[in-house]
Amino acid sequence: MNWTNADARRLGATLRSLREQKVLTQEGLAYSAGLTKNSLQLLEAGRGSGRKDSTSPSNPRMATMTSLAGALDMSVSELLRKADL
C-alpha cells in the first residue's frame, strides 16, 4: 500500500473522533499511549512534521499504532478498519 496524504488525514480524523468519543483530551490520550501531545497533534492533523512548509503525511510506526489502539481499547486492525484503511 502506498501511504498518501489522504490516508494520513483519514487516520487523523478517525483518531480525533475516537478520542472525543472517549472524552479524552489530546494530552490524556497521548499520555495513555506513551506519546507526546505534539506527536498526537501531528497524527490527528495527518502531518509528518510540525514545519509549516512540510507536505509529508504522517506515517506512524506499528509501535505507535499499537499504543494508540490499546489506549483506545481496540486492536490496530479495528482502528485501521474504522479509518477505512
Q: Is residue 20 part of a domain?
A: yes
Its pTM stands at: 0.90
Give the per-residue pLDDT at 1. 64
Q: Quote the domain boundaries for residue 24.
A: 5-80
Give the per-residue pLDDT at 55. 73
Q: Is residue 62 part of a domain?
A: yes
* Spatial distance between the Cα atoms of 42 and 40, rounded to a whole number of angstroms: 5
Q: How does pLDDT run across 26-43, given as a tens digit for each residue?
A: 999 999 999 999 999 999
Q: Is residue 85 part of a domain?
A: no
* Spatial distance between the Cα atoms of 84 and 65, rounded to a whole number of angstroms: 15
Q: Is residue 53 part of a domain?
A: yes
Question: What is the CATH number for 74?
Answer: 1.10.260.40
Per-position pLDDT tens, the chain of length 85: 688 999 999 999 999 999 999 999 999 999 999 999 999 999 999 988 767 777 788 889 999 999 999 999 999 999 999 999 9
